[in-house]
């Protein structure tokens, strides 16, 4: 798993470790563990996010399925 800080566009991840988020499809709050950097050929982009729910269970979510909570 790459721990790079920027993608091919020079953008950092949208979701950072510890960010509280709402997983929209199931309406449950979770905490970001890591957002993964994915590759398509030579291009890289921020993709799926590993989250942890309050019961300690981990899950993967598409980044577009998450909403940051303040």
The total number of structural domains in the chain stands at: 1
pTM: 0.86
Structure tokens at 18: 């510890």
Looking at the domain assignment, is residue 5 inside a domain?
A: no
Q: Which domain holds residue 56?
A: 20-68
CATH of the domain at 41: 2.40.10
Predicted pLDDT at 26: 94
Residue 31 lies in a domain: yes
Q: What pLDDT does residue 4 have?
A: 58
Contact yes or no for 58/51 (Cβ under 8 A): yes
What pLDDT is stored for residue 54 in this prediction? 95
Do the beta carbons of residue 39 and residue 31 sit within 8 Å?
no
From the first residue on, what is the mean pLDDT of each consecutive set of 10 residues in the chain (70 residues)? 76 96 97 96 95 97 95
Quick one: which of 48, 70, 68, 69 has its CA closest to 60? 48
Residues with Cβ within 8 Å of 64's Cβ and at least 6 positions away in sequence, in order, are: none
Residue 41, number of CB atoms within 10 A of its CB:
6
**Structural domain includes residue 7:** no
pLDDT value for 70: 82
* Residue 5: predicted pLDDT: 86
């Amino acid at each position: 798993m790459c721990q790079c800080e920027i993608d091919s566009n020079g953008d950092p991840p949208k979701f950072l470790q510890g960010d509280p988020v709402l997983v929209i499809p199931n309406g449950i709050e979770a905490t970001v563990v890591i957002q993964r950097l994915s590759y398509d050929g030579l291009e890289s982009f921020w993709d799926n996010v590993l989250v942890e729910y309050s019961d300690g269970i981990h899950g993967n979510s598409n980044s577009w399925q998450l909403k940051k909570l303040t």
